[in-house]
């Protein structure tokens, strides 16, 4: 079955139904898939994004089925996949990424030396676990130079999973995550940091990284949290099937906030006027006004499994992503030193003028308490002693205006 057909007609709304379970399952191919673009299309290739995001992307890998990656027997592996234009033929003129390969089925992220996080539905189909022997996890499936497709990989870029340490795939919820142990430690890459306290808030800017439509790595930014839901949150991302399991990165801290679960149950690509193009919502048939569903790393079961795996691996992931320079203060560290946020206030230590702020304190851009020094104020005649709580300030000022 081609990926085009496998992505079709599995449900509606944000989270779709799952296929019936069966033997011989490789990479799980369920109907629970992200699959839409919200114009304008903000997807960017690796070469076109920031150094900071490239650094995080260096620790994000593609889940590729064995029938799309040939072992050459000499320590190298080669992509064996159709281009987007071939898979969705005829592809409409001007559709981006037409000449790129479509090898990936899901996305995963390195969070410790030998630990990945992804979406549960990438490795589970209605209770039937994927056959790990038929799956590769491949790093550097990216476009590093415009017009040059990734074709060959070496053993230090290709891994297999030895065990699924924990997994949830609860239909119609954001309880959709998996923690995977690799067959060996990954070398030359910095694990991506994970949020470990508090929770993401409404309006937070985020970035999605993944392999939508099986294409080489894409970065989707210009997105914000639109709703907080049980086990996760929702956002207005540009994603397509293959993005599932990809990291949702906090644009301020560089930390993983969650993994991508699902979007509306419409086809990845629609045939309109005789050619295929990426589905664009809300205007295309089958769309509604819902958003992308994301599984939060603060889901208690997800968090506990993840932290136990990281501790067992012996890798500290308190900082940002790997590889890139921290050239814009977003918290992604370099290869030698990962950026940290010791007081978990959302301001990285290098930029934090108040490094010991108590948990849950509202802080300004310098990491200091925004209410420091103004939690009480003397405004006579609003109180006998002249000292009033901040919450009464507005009432008092209004009183003074009326008297004047």
- HEC string of the chain? CCHHHHCCCCCCCCCCCCCCCCCCCCCCCCCCCCCEECCCCCEEEHHHCCHHHHHHHCCEEEEEEHHHEEECCCCEEEECCCEHHHHCCCECCCCCCCCCECCEEEEEEEEECCEEEECHHHCEECCEECCHHHEEEEECCCCCECCECCCEEEHHHEECEEEEEEEEECCCCCCEEEEEEECCCCCCCCCCCECCCCCCCCCCEEEEEECHHHCCCEEEEEEEEEEEECCEEEECCCECCCCCCCEEEECCCCCEEEEEEECCCCCCEEEECCEEEECECCCCCCCCCCCEEEEECCCHHHHHHHHHHHHHHCCCCCCCCCCCCCCCCCCCCCCCCCCCCCCCCCCCHHHCCCCCCCCCCCECCCCCECCCCCCEEECCCCCCCCEEEHHHHHHHHHHHHHHC
pLDDT in tens, 175-227: 999 999 999 999 999 999 999 999 999 999 999 999 999 999 999 888 899 99
Domain count, the chain: 1
For residue 308, give its domain range: 3-313
Q: What pTM was computed for the model?
A: 0.70
In a domain, 358, yes or no: no
Q: What is the pLDDT of residue 6?
A: 31
In a domain, 391, yes or no: no
In a domain, 383, yes or no: no
In a domain, 78, yes or no: yes
In a domain, 288, yes or no: yes
In a domain, 361, yes or no: no
Asked if the model's pLDDT at residue 152 lies above 50, the reply is yes
Asked if the model's pLDDT at residue 110 lies above 90, the reply is yes
| CATH code, domain with 237 | 2.40.10.120
In a domain, 150, yes or no: yes
pLDDT in tens, 37-87: 445 677 899 999 999 999 999 999 999 999 999 999 999 999 999 999 999
In a domain, 9, yes or no: yes
């Amino acid at each position: 079955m081609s990926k085009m057909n496998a992505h079709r007609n599995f449900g509606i709304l944000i989270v779709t139904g799952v296929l019936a379970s069966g033997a011989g399952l490789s990479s799980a191919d369920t109907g629970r898939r992200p699959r839409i673009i919200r114009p304008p299309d903000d997807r960017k290739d690796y070469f076109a994004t920031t150094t900071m995001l490239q650094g995080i992307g260096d620790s994000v890998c593609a889940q590729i089925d064995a029938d799309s990656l040939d072992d050459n027997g000499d320590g190298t592996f080669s992509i064996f996949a159709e281009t987007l234009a071939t898979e969705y033929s005829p592809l409409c003129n001007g559709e981006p990424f037409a000449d790129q390969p479509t090898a990936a089925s899901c996305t995963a992220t390195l969070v410790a030396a030998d630990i990945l996080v992804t979406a549960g539905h990438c490795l589970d189909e209605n209770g039937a676990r994927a056959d790990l022997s038929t799956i590769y996890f491949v790093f550097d499936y990216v476009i590093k130079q415009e017009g040059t497709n990734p074709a060959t990989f070496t053993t230090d870029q290709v891994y297999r999973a030895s065990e699924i340490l924990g997994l949830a795939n609860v239909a119609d919820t954001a309880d959709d995550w998996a923690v995977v142990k690799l067959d060996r430690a990954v070398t030359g890459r910095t694990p991506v940091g994970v949020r470990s306290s508090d929770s993401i808030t409404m309006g937070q800017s985020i970035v999605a990284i993944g392999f939508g439509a099986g294409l080489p790595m894409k970065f989707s930014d210009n997105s914000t949290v639109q709703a907080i839901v049980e086990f996760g949150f929702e956002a207005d991302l540009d994603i397509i099937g293959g993005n599932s399991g990809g990291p949702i990165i906090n644009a301020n801290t560089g930390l993983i906030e969650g993994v991508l679960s699902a979007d509306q149950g419409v086809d990845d690509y629609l045939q309109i006027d005789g050619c295929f193009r990426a589905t664009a919502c809300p205007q295309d048939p089958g769309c509604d006004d819902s958003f992308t569903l994301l599984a939060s790393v603060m889901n208690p079961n997800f968090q506990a499994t993840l932290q136990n795996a990281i501790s067992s691996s012996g890798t500290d992931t308190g900082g940002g992503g790997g590889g890139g320079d921290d050239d814009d203060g977003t918290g992604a560290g370099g290869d030698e030193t990962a950026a940290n946020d010791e007081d978990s206030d959302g301001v990285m230590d290098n930029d934090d003028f108040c490094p010991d702020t108590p948990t849950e304190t509202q802080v300004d851009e310098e990491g200091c308490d925004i209410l420091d020094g103004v939690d009480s104020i003397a405004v006579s005649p609003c109180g006998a002693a002249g000292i009033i709580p901040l919450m009464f300030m507005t009432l008092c000022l209004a009183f003074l205006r009326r008297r004047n």
